[in-house]
Structure 1
Amino acid sequence: MTLDLGAGANSLPTRSGLKTCRIGPFEPELGGKLSDVHLAYETWGGLNASKTNAVLVVHALTGDSHAAGKRDESCPKGGWWDEVVGPGKVIDTDEYFVICSNVLGGCSGSTGSASADPGTGKPYGMRFPTVTIRDMVRAQKRLLDELGIEGLALVIGGSIGGQQALEWAVEFPDFTGKVAVVAATSYLGPQGLGMSEIGRRAITADPDWQNGDYYGTGRTPENGLALARMAGMMTYQSAAGQWERFGRTPATRGRHIENPGGTFDVECYLQYQGSDLARRFDANSYLYLLRAMDLYDAGRGYGSLEEAYGRVEAEMLFVGIPSDWLFPADEVEATARCMRDAGASVHYAEIDTNSGHDAFLKDWDELRAAIGPFVKKENRGNGEARRRAR
């Protein structure tokens, strides 16, 4: 395996840009084989001498490794969690060595459907094997091994990132001290599955999708991807939040498609979100990551969900959002109770705003209040105590 660390594995930089790590061959759990996998990642802060201050931040569906950083030409929007990751912030890079990688199957530097198949030299397209949340986590573990990380102080993420955080607690129970699962549960419910299917059909019905082999043709399914994004954005909002933000106000934004009788502001917003994602994201990757989110079941491969939760040694935090209908807060809280009943040390908090599922990406004061006490408190050593008891 080869590793591009810039300053070298034994001299990790204080602040680094995008890097790529080759983790080599990889066999996804549902079949297939990838002969040469690379993961893109970024780091902030420095690893201490005892290697006990590493934190893994895991991104949401269309996120990437750029969790922190101000706006610049390479990233006009800045880091997607810059409000909570950085010097003196909740995830304090003066204290922690923070890692964020683009997931396996992604399209921001990591191996995915747009990558060249070493066997053919052509992009995988839909010949890329199905990847799962567990595959993403196992690939992240290989990356951390290459970085010389022997354990994590914390894993934290929201939505599909929350699913990954939960899987870390189950799959590698003795590797992390604390895990924070934000706006996610052990599996997605039927309403969420149905909305995912609408998004997939929007992409595959686009004539320019070409069964996934659109690379190099000059035609991409940007209309289908834009529609999928528009449907997805509606799942991330709440009804109350949309009344508060948009109401029935006529469009006040920039360029948009006019509808008969005029265009509403919410319509203009959705048009912008759709076209913005189509400019920066790969449609096939969207299909793969959305399916990974749908397929996730924390109990897969174990006798029961309770048995899976019985493996957990990390101290856990679950964060629900009462206005979220993709991962409803009562289902998040029920997941927390189930894990507590299985013997884990579990806390529950809420982000009580009208922003819906998206609250963990915009309601910064409320997010900091929900995760701050857990992130900053001393680890209770729950995992170590349970290991001694075995």
Structure 2
Amino acid sequence: METKKQSKLTTFMEEKFVPVAAQIGGQRHLLALRDGIVMIMPLLILGAFAMIVIDFPIPAWIALMESAGWSWGGKIDILINATFGIMAIIAAFGVASSLAGSYKKNDGTSIDGIPAGILAIASFFVVTQSDGTGSENLFVAMAFAILTAEIYRLFVQKNWIIKLPDTVPTAVSRQFSALLPGLAILGISWLIIAVPMSYTGYKTISHWLNEGLFSWLTNFGLSYPFMMFGSFIEHLLWTFGLHGSAIIIFPFFEPLWISVTHVGTTSIITWPFYENNVWLGGSGATLPVVIYMLLFAKSKLLKDVGKISIGPGIFNINEPVTFGLPIVLNPMLMIPFILSPLVIVTIMYAGTSIGLFPIMDKIVPWTTPIFISGFLAASGDIGSRLMAVLAQVICFSASFIIYLPFIRAWDKINLKREAGEA
């Protein structure tokens, strides 16, 4: 049962916080950034599989490949370049096409976002001069994709486009309509690099942004307080039924954390650091809750939810838990759902800082089960990878301890409720 204070807090959050958060989550530019990230997810997963093949930590496997008599490592690199290596290009297209397509023409019909996506790719190559198309230029790609989409939709809405007769096929007229906005977009992109770069020591805009302007942002973005802030907001939003990951993590945090995730990185905070530890069983690190319900629950509700949730939970999908228990709008379970990820971030950051845990520098498919994901996400020898697994064991145990008094109390409440109904 909710106390009066809890009821007031819940009411305040529902009336004041949730509408604002929902409005932010529906903001077109943030949705476009999210769509761009979603578009590169298949590449991340496929590239992760390629990395697992090339660096599978079993000496017998490596010896077998080397004994085949061909340069298997170099050939697998082709797949990595075709996935991780083109992320920025795909993101540029995805963000620009999504953002432009979210606007309306003067006649009320939606703007065709595909030409904007194509122009965003061209703009990206202008400002980077082909200076890397992978994760290192993800920020640049997204920034110029937004600029491209805004210029394109302005030209379309103002009717500053070349119109062809209705007898011309749509596929042809569509391309001609992109000529004038394309001229403006590429011209502006060229001016951005031609003038400032002539008077600075930077060769390209991406060089300047990544090493100059973004350096302070990167340092802050890869800090412990920044990750704690992001995790808190993400899980607070989830507890009110909003997709916190899509609202805060995917558009703001994921691009930065992906950009520093590579073998040999010195950054403690990486994308697998968060994805494979904080999301144990899904947002809120809920896999320990599923294990409790499966093994120890006494109420029918928790037993049933445990049975339904164990399969998805192993593969880091936890909607059956968040909406089945429920955790959403449940003051008793909202607390550990928010607290557990914060504790995990603290454990992982502290352990990695002192050298106890290895840096997680390899992206693995997000559905990879716990312990396997830790083993594959770290580089180094078997011992180093086993320490990554140990880190997940510690994080799992900490989450279980945090959830235990709350989920046990919720179990008792439901057991009494079921007995009363019977």
- TM-score, normalised to structure 1, is 0.26
Greater helix share, 1 or 2?
2
Greater strand share, 1 or 2?
1
- TM-score, normalised to structure 2, is 0.24
